């Protein structure tokens, strides 16, 4: 795989930023709701901004806000965040081959910005052509900056959006991933992996309380990918 001819660092950054923009529109309502909920729980605007900027993990932040108390139950918050984000270990293993050309600091920044949407877009890019640090920077910075910005706006304006489900915003990220999944299709082998992951996640969700279904689905997907027969599709010439 190679970098397309004529594309420099700035071009790659701009391309990454443009690629992530459609996903950002789905992020905005959830960032607003997070900021509003956090403010209602007693967090200041500064604290909301710092949480989004440093933690940068939407599902873990929502869980933390729901469990927030004074004084905060640090052990419970840490365990919940750990369980929800354990999937990032498997995501990191999957994307590692595409980060081989990154320097140490670039890899650290890439892992910090490895939200689910960024991971999916970067993986798709790595399958098509060589994934560059500049392209990843465009993806990650825009997504991270918008998450921080709109969670701050949510903390300031309060509860103008009480229930995102009323407007269908809860389906926004699901719709994004359904579109991204199509680009990962490589024949029956892919369907086998998807089925195994979905079945394990649904079983864990119905049998065990808490976010274990996230880890179960990710682990089943990785295991089935390792056990499934090799794909028979061939890569397009020149890629």
- Residues 6 or more apart from 210 whose CB is under 8 A from it? 80, 83
Q: Which pTM does this prediction carry? A: 0.69
Q: Does residue 221 surpass a pLDDT of 60?
A: yes
Average pLDDT along the chain:
79
pLDDT in tens, 13-46: 999 999 999 888 888 888 888 888 888 888 889 9
User: Taking a C-beta distance cutoff of 8 angstroms, is the pair 196, 226 a contact?
Assistant: no
Place of tokens 């229930």: 163
Alpha carbons 52 and 147: distance in angstroms, whole number: 7
> How many Cβ atoms sit within 10 Å of the Cβ of residue 73?
12
Alpha carbons 226 and 151: distance in angstroms, whole number: 39
pLDDT in tens, 144-178: 999 999 999 988 886 566 665 566 655 655 665 56
């Amino acid at each position: 795989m190679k970098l397309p001819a004529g594309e420099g660092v700035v071009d790659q950054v701009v391309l990454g930023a443009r690629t992530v923009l459609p996903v950002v529109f789905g992020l905005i309502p959830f960032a607003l709701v997070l900021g509003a909920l956090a403010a209602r729980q007693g967090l200041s605007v500064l604290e909301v901004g710092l949480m989004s900027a440093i933690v940068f993990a939407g599902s873990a932040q929502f869980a933390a806000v729901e469990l927030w108390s004074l004084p905060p139950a640090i052990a419970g918050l840490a365990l919940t965040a750990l369980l929800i984000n354990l999937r990032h270990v498997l995501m990191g293993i999957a994307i590692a081959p595409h980060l081989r050309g990154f320097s140490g600091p670039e890899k650290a920044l890439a892992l910090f910005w490895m939200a689910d949407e960024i991971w999916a877009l970067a993986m798709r890019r790595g399958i098509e052509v060589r994934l560059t640090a500049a392209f990843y920077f465009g993806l990650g910075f825009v997504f991270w900056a918008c998450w921080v910005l709109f969670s701050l706006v949510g903390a300031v304006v309060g509860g103008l959006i009480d229930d995102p489900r009323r407007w269908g915003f809860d389906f926004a990220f699901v719709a994004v991933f359904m579109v991204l999944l199509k680009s990962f299709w490589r024949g029956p082998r892919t369907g086998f992996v998807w089925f195994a992951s979905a079945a394990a996640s649904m079983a864990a969700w119905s049998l065990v309380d808490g976010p274990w279904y996230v880890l179960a689905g990710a682990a089943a997907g990785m295991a089935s990918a390792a056990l499934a027969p090799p794909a028979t599709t061939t890569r397009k010439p020149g890629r």
